Structure 1
């Protein structure tokens, strides 16, 4: 039997929204990959093309659908930063089945990362964050490839790192690097999903090529301070998870051409006051 025939033979019916959908259990997906399929990603793609949903995506099915899941598996997203925001972004995009992630971060885990960085553990202090992102993704979804770069983003390397991507996600923690990222994404014609956190507050905005983007938020631009109020307020555990979740939603919306991105709008989240506001940045 060819791969599709084997997938059909090992699929089963699952309840969904009062009806049913044919799914491929994770155990069968892994077995097919071990038995000679080109890769776990090819197993998932072959299943989707045959109208069979990899069971791991059943809870996304109503929102994403078969065609949308195939789109995600073929997509590439660059995540710049693998710390507080970036770790959660890698986690969620991997679980959603975005097929290729480019992760760039030159930092290594320190004790003070343990309070909020998903990828930091007591056992990997001193390890490169980008490599930890790659390892975590491999544990979650073998169909997702993580290209990890233990490097700091610079004006010299940014375009090379970002070029394969369809969407870029800003998980950085300093303004100079954010402006380098915005410039590079704009030159490559790529949308950039910005996120920033400080204390109980966070913000999210999606910047398309040609938009003023960060210049609207930081009038001092690249000549401004390296870091802002987060130096004093720190970042409690839940804040990066809150903002990263919104960044992932924006990324998925862009890839699937769904909904309205936060373009020229800033989502401002204040967990302390229990408020969420969308601020219009341009008339």
Structure 2
């Protein structure tokens, strides 16, 4: 296996001078060259990308992340692990976003399979994938988007023990559950592992997103369990995509090394009148 210095040197030698959309010059590493280095040096593709970034070479896959984040932020993303619970409406969108932004290790779980009623909003579903495991669909999707990512998608509903195993070494826990059940468990385990929880929910055209810091109250502290408003109001695709996008933005900030925008706050949105409001929850 090649050393980081050797991989970085090869990336610099094979990098191509390029310009970003704003005219900023940089050395670009195409995925084809990265895969060639990976194969030649018997090194994981993610290690090649990390070495390239450390040497100041930007894998072309991530160039449009700049300059919203810098090289260190992209290194942080590729070096990070997150835990994601749920691979349906929110989770399918989120795991795609995490793979595209370059989160290095994704640990995900969902014991459900696709139904026809999921087709209105769940990105990983299709008419050909009805009855397919959501975890299997997620794994297939991630590897086609970003083969440098380590993704373990488990076809099981989380328990206390399995959730703790998923959170071991993670920097953030992401709640993509539907309904209200088990959300308090996620909040408690995130506190146990001293990591933030990024959570969301929606019903009809409205919803919320919150970042719960360890030991602080979150939406689950107030909403409890049982039936949820989405059971009567439905989950149309605009609200699901809005909530997932807001969650992805928070996770990207956290993993890249920036402060969360919703630290112990909840962002409420209503697409009926396009209103957004932040409230303090801790």
2:39 equivalent in structure 1? 34
Measured in 1, the distance between the counterparts of 2:264 and 2:12 equals: 46
Q: Any unmatched runs of 5+ in structure 1?
A: none
* 1:167 equivalent in alignment to 2:172: yes
1:20 equivalent in structure 2? 25
Deviation at 1:259, TM superposition (A): 4.0
| Equivalent pairs, count | 277
Write the deviation string for residues 148-200 of structure 1: whole angstroms up to 9, x where unpaired: 11111223432122223110000001322111111111111111001111111
With the length of structure 2 as denominator, give the TM-score of the two structures: 0.93
Comparing 229-238 with 150-159, greater Cα deviation is found at 150-159
Comparing 243-252 with 151-160, greater Cα deviation is found at 151-160
- Asked if 2 retains the 8 angstrom alpha-carbon contact of 1:37 and 1:43, the reply is no
Deviation at 1:216, TM superposition (A): 4.8
Write the deviation string for residues 8-55 of structure 1: whole angstroms up to 9, x where unpaired: 232111112233111101222233333344121111011111110001
1:212 is paired with a residue whose SS is coil
Q: Aligned match of 2:209 in 201, 204, 209?
A: 204
Correspondences of 1:143-154 after superposition (within 5 Å): 143-154=148-159
1:4 equivalent in structure 2? 8
Q: Any unmatched runs of 5+ in structure 2?
A: none
- Asked if 2 retains the 8 angstrom alpha-carbon contact of 1:3 and 1:37, the reply is no
Measured in 2, the distance between the counterparts of 1:215 and 1:80 equals: 15
With the length of structure 1 as denominator, give the TM-score of the two structures: 0.92
* 1:97 equivalent in alignment to 2:95: no
Measured in 1, the distance between the counterparts of 2:55 and 2:106 equals: 25
Distance 1:158 1:5, change over 3 A: closer
1:8 is paired with a residue whose SS is helix
RMSD: 1.7
2:237 equivalent in structure 1? 237
1:262 is paired with a residue whose SS is coil
Write the deviation string for residues 60-114 of structure 1: whole angstroms up to 9, x where unpaired: 1202111111111010010000000000110111111000000111001111111
Correspondences of 1:17-96 after superposition (within 5 Å): 17-96=22-101
1:180 is paired with a residue whose SS is helix
Correspondences of 1:123-162 after superposition (within 5 Å): 123-162=128-167
Measured in 1, the distance between the counterparts of 2:169 and 2:259 equals: 24
Measured in 2, the distance between the counterparts of 1:179 and 1:14 equals: 48
